[in-house]
Amino acid sequence: MPEACQDIYAIKRLLTQGMSFLLNVSGDDMWNQDTCVRAYNFATIAHGEQKIKGCGYPYIFHVSLVAIEIMNALTFEKTAEPDLAVQCAFLHDVLEDTPTTYDALLLSFGRPVADGVMALSKNASLPPAERMPDSLRRIKLQPVEIWKVKLADRIVNLEILQPDWNAARKAEYRAEAVTIYEALSEASGYLADRLLGTIRDYSVD
C-alpha cells in the first residue's frame, strides 16, 4: 500500500460510517436521502475510472469523504439548505474534472446546485495563480452551503499526502488552505475548526 495511504483504513471507516448516515438518517432538518443518493450515483458515473492522486483509490472515494464532512457538520450545526450542501459535496468536481456540462447539472439537479458546483470549479482559462482567488470570489456569491463544501474539500485533500510533491509545493498548498480558511471560516465553526486543525497537522517536510 502506498505510504500516502497509511491512514486510509481509518478514513475508510469514516466513509462507511458516513454512508450509513446517508442511507439511514431522516428528518425534516436533514437531507433528502433520495436526492442525495442520486447525486452520489451521478458523481460515480461521471468520475468513472478516475483515481485519487497519490493514493490510487477510486475518485468517488474523495467526493464521498467530502460529503461525509458535510454530513458530520450538519449533525452539529443546522443550515438552511442541507440538501444543497450534500449534493454539491458529491458533485463538486464533476465540472472541473469530467466532461460533465453545466447544462447537464442544471437539467438533473436545478440551478442552485449547478451554480454551486460552477463556483467550486476553478477556471482553467485563467493563469494558475488567479484560479483560487477567482473561485473564492465566486463561492462567496453563493449560499453559505457552498462555502462549507469548499472547507470540507480542503480538509479531505490535506489528509491525503502527495508523495511526488516537494517541500515548496506542500508549503504552497498549505498556504492556499490558510487563504481558504480566512475567506470562508465564518460559514461553519465546526468545519473551520476541522480545517484549522488539519492545516496545523499538515507536514511540509
Long-range contacts of 19-23 (CB under 8 A, 24+ apart): 19/64, 19/68, 21/68, 21/71, 21/72, 21/75, 22/67, 22/71, 22/86
Predicted confidence at residue 32, as pLDDT, reads 83
Q: How many domains does the chain contain in total?
A: 1
Asked if 20 and 67 touch (Cβ cutoff 8 Å), the reply is: no
% of residues, the chain, pLDDT over 90: 66
As a dihedral over the C-alpha atoms of residue 48, residue 121, residue 105, residue 113, rounded to 10 degrees, the angle is 120
What CATH number should be reported for the domain holding residue 33?
1.10.3210.10
pLDDT confidence of 184, banded at 50, 70, 90?
A: very high
Residue 196 confidence (pLDDT) above 80? yes
Local structure of residue 180 (DSSP, 8 states): H
How far apart, in whole angstroms, are the C-alpha atoms of residue 8 and residue 4?
8
pLDDT digits (tens, 9 = 90+) for 10-47: 555 555 555 555 555 545 557 788 888 899 999 999 99
Give the E-state strand segments of the chain in sequence order: none
Amino acid letter for position 83: D
* pTM for this entry: 0.87
% of residues, the chain, pLDDT over 70: 86
Range of the domain at 64: 3-201
What's the length of the chain?
Answer: 205
